[in-house]
Structure 1
Amino acid sequence: MKVMKFGGTSVGSAANIANVKKIISGVNEPIVVVVSAFKSITDKLLTTSRLAAAGDYSYEREFREIVEQHVTVVCKLDISEPQREKLAVEVNKLLDELSNIFKGVFLINDLSPKTSDKIVSYGERLSTLIISYAFSDYEILDVTQLIKTDCAFGKHTPDMELSNKLIRNAFENSSKKVLVAGFISTCKTTGEITNLGRGGSDYTAAIFASALDANILEIWSDVDGFMSADPKVINNAHVIESLTFTEATELCNFGAKVIYPPTIFPVYHKNIPIRIKNTFKPDAPGTYISHDGETRKSKAMIKGISSISDSCLITVQGLGMVGIIGVNFRIFRALAKNGISVFLVSQASSENSTSIGVRSADANLAVRVLEEEFEKEISLGSINRVLLETELATVAIVGENMKYTPGIAGKLFETLGKSGISVIACAQGASEVNISFVIKNKYLRKALNSIHDSFFLSEYKALNLFIVGIGTVGGNLIEQIRQQQPKLMEQYALKLNVVGIARGRKALFCREGINLDNYKTELDEKGIPSSPEILRDGIINMNIFNAVFVDCTASEPVSQIYGDLMSQNISVVTANKVAASSAYDNYIKLKNTARERNIKFLFETNVGAGLPIINTMNSLINSGDKIVKIEAVLSGTLNFIFNTISKDIPFSKAIYLAKESGYSEPDPRIDLSGMDVVRKLVILTREAGYQVEQADVEKNLFVPQEYFNGTIEEFWANIRQLDSEFEERRKKLESEHKHLRFVAKYEKGKCEVGLQEVGQNHPFYDLEGSNNIIQITTERYNEYPMIIKGYGAGASVTAAGVFSDIISIANIR
């Protein structure tokens, strides 16, 4: 025998009823079909009841909508006209009864629980009646005569022994095709209409399956099955193919609304599997729930993540609780007497505090009853006033495989820590199937995404990038990301999701990701006014997981928001040299923030564009080596100029060619001043482990200060005056087989930059074009220093260096 339950959406229209009929027509064994009220009807019945009880005439409008919804289905149902007329009479009779009840509630302005239960029962009574005409070969059983309930704390619970007996007796003489209304029951003592609560149709189906020893219970709705997380929050959440009963129960108890939690209990003891199916995708496999759930076949450490967003945490605390037997008994007894359900308990090992998680709707009542219970202890000061924390969320990670995998809790809390999310309370049962924790509600989305990503429940690991500056470097970076995205996703399961782009005074944010094929158009058309402060606030308020801020500007104001971003656990990758070369206190504060927050502050491209200079130095130092001397040619622009000067190309023209070739800044005086090299030397020296400021660097410049005054036009007009001087020097060096190099140097606590003449035996002699070179002398590499050499300028190589820093954050192999 098979029991199949169809939800309100599944039977919410004549077309949907026909679809259900097609699904069940393929069943070749005895079958029980349990149906819910039509979609939204239960909610409308409750709303209409409240309006009528309040004396609000608008209840009549709500009731008309209920009538119209059912009449529409009757009119469109695929049955003969005589049958339709007969059905219409029976439906109208039920609707008239319902109308009279509403009128009575309206007149006396009172809605008792008994009346409310009777009103909502009409949803299933109407839907079952209508569906029975479409399923003409099915026998209807009156569920009110089969499922009997007891009442406790205002809630109706089925008497399983009696209900099972009544169901089995009813089926002794029934047909092999039975239709049953879900949700409805009756009190075993009074015979009055009761119900099994929200989602009670699932429960009805499970009770029937258990009583009849069915082969399987199928729950058909409008979802594909249990999801690895809430798909409204996590776009790439996927269907969980199999679960154990325990896993499914844990997920249901913590907010997964796939099935009504009590549904699992009746079939669990009979080992009757449950299959969750989508009525509108009948060929999809859905989720299979059983005792083993094929857990051992799954490699996933956790199966899914569930959450309760409307959580409150209540804490009973006081030194008077330590060593006192029965305190927790009193807590839970007081709550149980008032029908308050607790879904999380966390107790300190010192016994001086117990925290419990409850729904927001129960929070104030829970505080009141606990303060009444401990009134004497509170007045004596042995127990503090009951503490209530609101606007919280409770998250649970669930999976049987957790018990076989060490370090799950460590990985969970590390993941949350990296995202800057503090855990307020946590609980883990000895079975290790569920780890639950409480956080601030505002971090729920971020927490769910971080965990989903970290535990490989997502198809891809995601990095969410905010890119500021889309000029030569930023533009090249975005193009490289666009081209590499398919390869990274295919080979490394890494998705680089650009969620923010800004330039000048415009910014564009999109949590789902910006289309990089036409981002400039989108930025122009949809961008909002921006500034560094607006940018900072926008990124922080997006509250997105695995966030990386990428600065491709040379802006000082932009660099000033790094600290605020990093304090919110947002990593920073920057080609902007301002921050790392700023005041040493600021530099070290950013480094320390990254270390404390377990995030990244990466600026490899600050020196040598795409050359692995800083990473190499860090590796040397981290391995215990000590850098004692640095010598480097760090300006691709200046190296290009001194390599280009010749008999036919004077100094001034070489500067012009550097600008035209894109090696220099639009204003080449920035390069000629040597300040760019000063900043780079400061950064390298700091990364070598020494405290130095820009003012500490001795500058031996080769262009007199007067050439830096005035306009850029005046500079171009006057710079020719130095051509003859440099030509004389060039000729002399040529005869001596030497070259000019602008060298940055650190040694014995001294930093300096300036022109240096190098001979043929010097490693800097053959440095071509705009290349950079750095020679690092350490305690280990002393006699033969380490040399790193290569392209040190150009937008594409700088962008590639930034890209490399981004990839390093993903930690892919």
Structure 2
Amino acid sequence: MNVLKFGGSSVANAATIENVIEIIQKQSNSSPIYVVVSAMGGVTDLLLKAGKQASHNDEEYKNTLAEIEQRHFEAIKTLIPVLSQSAIISKVKSELNALESICEGIYLLSELSPKTIAVISSFGEMLSSYIISEAAKAKGLDITLKDSRDLIVKAENGKVAIHYNETNKRIQEFQKNNTHRVTLFPGFVARTQEGEPTTLGRGGSDFTAAILAAALEANELHIWTDVSGMYTANPKLVKQAKPVSHISYHEAMELSHFGAKVIYPPTIHPVLENNIPILIKNTFNPSDKGTLITRTVDDRKKPVTGISHIENIAIISLEGSGMVGIPGFSKRLFETLFLENINIILITQASSEHSICLAVEAEDAEKAKHVLDIAFEFEISKGKLDPVKIEHHAAIVALVGDNMYHHQGLSGKMFSTLGKNNVNIRAIAQGASEKNISVVIEKKDIKKALNVLHERFFEVKTKQLNLFITGVGNVGSKLLEQLEQQKEYLKNKLQLKIRVVGLSNSRKMIFDESGVNLKKWQEVLTSGETADATAFFNRAKEMNLRNSIFVDNTANPDIANVYKHYLKESMAVVTCNKIACADAYIHYEELQNLSRKFSASFLYETNVGAGLPIIDTLNNLIASGDNIHKIQAVLSGSLNFVFNNYKEDILFHDVVQQAKEEGYTEPDPKIDLSGVDVARKILILARESGKVMELEDIENDAFLPKETLNTKSVEEFFVSLQKNEEHFKAILQEASQKDCRLKYVAQYEDGKAKVGLQHIPADHPFYNLEGSDNIVLFYTDRYPQQPLIVKGAGAGAAVTASGIFADIIRIGKK
């Protein structure tokens, strides 16, 4: 014989009840079965609501009762043939009249006692079981309805303790004379030893089924619910969560204790003692395999079986020297809470005995503080203990698995994974069995914590990155194009799933946790909200997603000023904006320190050479122990393009205009031609080499006339270029007369840096540098005469975007 239990979601309405009856019919074909049903989904809450409204003299309770009546009558009219409805409706109406009389009494007395609550809440199961039994009979099933209150006896009033001797005796005697294929029971309800109606509390219907299964020594207990078993994590919060096909009793208890609401811990105890397997099945997808729960599991390789959590937790902390070495202190603490019926969910105490931390349900926190402050009033008054502290808005996340025992490094992986995503751990608890590692975190971090841990322990093949991108001009639009183009390659070859969850230009910004459609981003962005750098950060922080990366494709100083806020939230920053790293050294140093402190990558390879690995090469030289003596470089692809294309028969103005149109220059070309852009780049390289240097320390030998340098707008700048064509022709002719080419060179040597236009002879490595290419020569201990050379395209939207893309991938592969 098997015992089947159907939860509230499985019997929520006529359609789901018909599905349940079909399952019952199939299951009963092979052998007789016992079936336990819950109240129709949501009805128990409505019953309690009506009682509470009545106790507050709120006549709205009548409307609540009317809603309950309507739901049950609708089910009857759909499930029962018309000719048979009258008697059933009459029976249900009689029960509802009794419920109404009870609520009227509550209304008159303005009192709702625990006993009355038990009576009111029992109506849901009594009504649903009656309607389901009659509907099953109408379909020809050999079924009988038995009141669970006749069989299940609670040993103590108000507590979920069963008088098993008496209960088992009654169940077994009933079974001796039971000849029906299907026996239906209302779950949740019972009687006290004095014969008074009561309930089995939270998860009571599961408990009813487990008690019956144990008493009958059933083959299996089947729990039918609205999910396909116990999952590796809550599928509502972790989309990648998957059902676990086979787990142990111990794992099921740990997971159910920590919030996996498929079953409840009391359910497991009766069947555990009798070694009866539990099968979790999906009412709405009966063909799904579900989860089998047995004493042992032999075929699993992964150490972690599941990740669970409890929300709405508060931390209670006691600290003080008066605790150290005092026998009986913990006894007083626990006994005080026990006497107030306050459940302790988690306990941790330092070996110094100077502090002890408890986790309790949030609703019990103030009460716990009050009674503990009274219990330890003397110690607190003498300064031996601090007053009890409460920290609200907490949650517990737990790794669970029988195979965790003696598996090295699990705790380290858990803590490092959370730390990298800025999830602060407030308390830690791990039993000697090593089958559960629990941490207390802030409630706001639950979703992120569950996802990063699930990714770490169950999704080793794919890592998800969440991008917040600002700037969708030439570079930004190319980056989005590349992300879309490489989506499948990243997933299949690098096991990276990259989503753009935030996107902004100078006018609008949009957010989509499921990922912006990169094929329609222009259209979607048009209808976004007003853009603001601080608001963009606040939304990114509020979304609190794992593996978050902020990408800046602008040259905006206001956006550069926000980098530190992202880093403090352990969000990585990738930028082609040189302003932050070329700002005052104290700000540059602050960003580096924040990156290290909060384990948040800060990557800016494109600050110097677009897609060229210049900074990476320099850092690798230094990290391997090499010393930098000299850096000589052509670092402006735009200036190299300009002077490679400036000829006797071409106007300087026209060449610069072409460079701007092809995307080689900054939006304001004066930044490039004034040498400021190159100065920033050599400054960054000097700082990466270990030199404390400011932008004003760099000697800038400008080739532009003062009039051009002092222009106030881009239009005025181009007009000035036309006016000063003779000045530029003179520079060109001087170089030609010396058989040299013009290159704008940056140099760092002996702790000093300078930038300026130079005449490059034919035997120099810079002479044949074509187009918009960049080149960097590193002279070091290892490369004293023949420098290490990095050379390639150093300008252009596509090249810069690819450099940003490379930095994003570098973070993803960490």
Instruction: State the Cα distance separating 1:610 from its structure 2 match.
Output: 0.2
- Within 5 Å, give how 1:420-435 maps onto structure 2: 420-435=422-437
Q: 1:254 aligns with which of 258, 270, 275?
A: 258
Instruction: State the Cα distance separating 1:793 from its structure 2 match.
Output: 0.6
1:157 to 2:161 alignment: yes
Q: 1:186 aligns with which of 178, 182, 191?
A: 191
Q: Which runs of 5+ in 1 are unaligned?
A: none
Separation of aligned partners in 1, 2:113 and 2:222 = 35
Instruction: State the Cα distance separating 1:457 from its structure 2 match.
Output: 4.4
Distance change (3 Å), C-alpha of 1:375 and 1:691: closer
Residue of structure 2 in register with 1:297 after alignment: 300
Distance change (3 Å), C-alpha of 1:619 and 1:171: same
The amino acid that maps onto 2:595 is: A
Q: 1:142 aligns with which of 143, 147, 153?
A: 147
Separation of aligned partners in 2, 1:727 and 1:775 = 25
Separation of aligned partners in 1, 2:446 and 2:93 = 47
CA contact (8 A) 1:650 1:727 kept: no
Q: Secondary structure at the match of 1:259?
A: coil
Distance change (3 Å), C-alpha of 1:4 and 1:657: same
Instruction: State the Cα distance separating 1:619 from its structure 2 match.
Output: 0.9
Residue of structure 2 in register with 1:670 after alignment: 671
CA contact (8 A) 2:7 2:224 kept: yes
Residue of structure 2 in register with 1:119 after alignment: 120
Number of positions where the alignment pairs a residue of Structure 1 with one of Structure 2: 803
Residue of structure 2 in register with 1:24 after alignment: 24
Distance change (3 Å), C-alpha of 1:660 and 1:361: closer
Instruction: State the Cα distance separating 1:388 from its structure 2 match.
Output: 2.0
Instruction: State the Cα distance separating 1:276 from its structure 2 match.
Output: 1.4
Residue of structure 1 in register with 2:522 after alignment: 520
Separation of aligned partners in 2, 1:670 and 1:365 = 65
Instruction: Provide Cα deviations, 1:658-696, integer angstroms capped at 9, x if missing partner.
Output: 233332234433221111111110011111111111111
Q: Secondary structure at the match of 1:549?
A: strand
Separation of aligned partners in 1, 2:31 and 2:272 = 22
- Within 5 Å, give how 1:249-648 maps onto structure 2: 249-294=253-298, 296-299=299-302, 301-457=303-459, 460-525=462-527, 527-648=528-649
- Within 5 Å, give how 1:62-77 maps onto structure 2: 62-77=64-79
Instruction: State the Cα distance separating 1:567 from its structure 2 match.
Output: 1.3
Separation of aligned partners in 2, 1:647 and 1:53 = 97
Report which stretch shifted further, 650-659 or 677-686.
650-659
Residue of structure 1 in register with 2:50 after alignment: 48
The amino acid that maps onto 1:339 is: N
Residue of structure 1 in register with 2:96 after alignment: 95
Report which stretch shifted further, 5-14 or 642-651.
642-651
Residue of structure 2 in register with 1:14 after alignment: 14
Instruction: State the Cα distance separating 1:45 from its structure 2 match.
Output: 0.9
The amino acid that maps onto 2:495 is: A
Q: Secondary structure at the match of 1:607?
A: helix
CA contact (8 A) 1:452 1:458 kept: no
CA contact (8 A) 1:707 1:718 kept: no
Separation of aligned partners in 1, 2:240 and 2:429 = 27
Separation of aligned partners in 2, 1:478 and 1:330 = 62
The amino acid that maps onto 1:13 is: N
1:725 to 2:727 alignment: no
- Within 5 Å, give how 1:611-760 maps onto structure 2: 611-710=612-711, 711-733=716-738, 736=739, 738-760=740-762
CA contact (8 A) 1:743 1:755 kept: yes
1:106 to 2:111 alignment: no
Report which stretch shifted further, 210-219 or 798-807.
210-219
Separation of aligned partners in 2, 1:365 and 1:459 = 47
Instruction: State the Cα distance separating 1:357 from its structure 2 match.
Output: 0.9
Separation of aligned partners in 1, 2:493 and 2:226 = 34
Report which stretch shifted further, 456-465 or 603-612.
456-465
Report which stretch shifted further, 53-62 or 221-230.
221-230
CA RMSD between the two structures: 1.9
Distance change (3 Å), C-alpha of 1:20 and 1:613: same
Distance change (3 Å), C-alpha of 1:459 and 1:5: farther
Residue of structure 2 in register with 1:215 after alignment: 219
The alignment's TM-score, normalised by the length of structure 2, stands at: 0.95
The amino acid that maps onto 1:571 is: A
Instruction: State the Cα distance separating 1:644 from its structure 2 match.
Output: 1.6
Instruction: State the Cα distance separating 1:723 from its structure 2 match.
Output: 4.7
Q: Which runs of 5+ in 2 are unaligned?
A: none
1:203 to 2:203 alignment: no
Distance change (3 Å), C-alpha of 1:652 and 1:107: closer
Instruction: State the Cα distance separating 1:458 from its structure 2 match.
Output: 8.0
CA contact (8 A) 1:391 1:441 kept: yes
Distance change (3 Å), C-alpha of 1:654 and 1:382: closer
Instruction: Provide Cα deviations, 1:310-334, integer angstroms capped at 9, x if missing partner.
Output: 1111123221221111111122122
Residue of structure 2 in register with 1:244 after alignment: 248
Separation of aligned partners in 2, 1:364 and 1:797 = 59
Instruction: Provide Cα deviations, 1:259-301, integer angstroms capped at 9, x if missing partner.
Output: 122111111222222121111111122222222245x4243x4
Separation of aligned partners in 1, 2:732 and 2:586 = 44
Q: Secondary structure at the match of 1:156?
A: coil
Q: Secondary structure at the match of 1:158?
A: coil
Instruction: State the Cα distance separating 1:341 from its structure 2 match.
Output: 1.1
Q: Secondary structure at the match of 2:156?
A: strand
Distance change (3 Å), C-alpha of 1:92 and 1:537: closer
Distance change (3 Å), C-alpha of 1:156 and 1:657: closer
CA contact (8 A) 1:646 1:730 kept: no
Instruction: Provide Cα deviations, 1:490-513, integer angstroms capped at 9, x if missing partner.
Output: 233321111111111321122222
Q: 1:33 aligns with which of 35, 51, 60?
A: 35
The alignment's TM-score, normalised by the length of structure 1, stands at: 0.95
